[in-house]
Amino acid sequence: MTRLIIWRHGNTDWNAASRVQGQTDVPLNDLGREQARCAAPVLAGLRPDAIVASDLRRAADTAAALAALTGLPVRTDARLRERHFGDWQGLTLTEVGERFPAEYARWRAGDPDPGARIESLADLGKRLGAAFQDAADLAAGGTVVVTTHGGGARQGVGHLLGWDHAVLRSVGSLANCHWTELRHDDVRGWHLRAHNVGLITQPALTEAV
């Protein structure tokens, strides 16, 4: 059985400000680094065989906290980046609502392709799902930790599980430095074992930021 741990990065100043990051390369803040440091020993206890991370610093630096304990290298994969939020990147959600009211309303209503040059959820799910599968293939029968982003994590998981958009809308976002656990076997294929697991109690911020 293969175990895939999908770990969201730690907190950033843009998370705290509800500013849309998307694929902007924003670093961890002090809280984010502490979250990664606290979570890393728990994940190290799962005895991972490989670590793969988005190449954006907030994810790669979160993964580095686990690598420091396990001695494993961090492989980076640009496909693990967050959803591209087009014209919204760098804006607060309040600014988005003011400047793009129609697109913002569609996004809030769950439109998978709301406009404003935002990557569609279908494309996001395919991109992340393929990256998750390739990461899992690095240690078939073992444990792989993938460090990525909130929105990308949910859509990639949905792609592997075969869940449609309506089902995914009912799944809560990962909090910073929390993770989802998937397992795969030859009989059941991919199945969900745990979601939003972590040490730090906090409200889950929207995956857009």
The reply to whether 82 belongs to the active site is: yes
Of residues 82, 103, 119, 207, which has the active-site annotation? 82
The reply to whether 207 belongs to the active site is: no
Of residues 9, 149, 178, 184, which has the active-site annotation? 9
Q: Could you tell me the two tokens for 114?
A: 């709301």
Residue 203 has pLDDT above 50, yes or no: no
pTM for this one?
Answer: 0.94
Residue 206 has pLDDT above 50, yes or no: no
Taking the CB of residue 36, how many other CB atoms lie within 10 A of it? 26
| Number of continuous H segments (helices) and E segments (strands) in the chain | 8, 6
Q: Are 174 and 208 in contact (CB under 8 A)?
A: no
Average pLDDT over residues 186-190: 95
Give the per-residue pLDDT at 205. Answer: 47
Q: Could you tell me the two tokens for 14?
A: 């843009």
Coil, helix or strand for 182?
A: strand
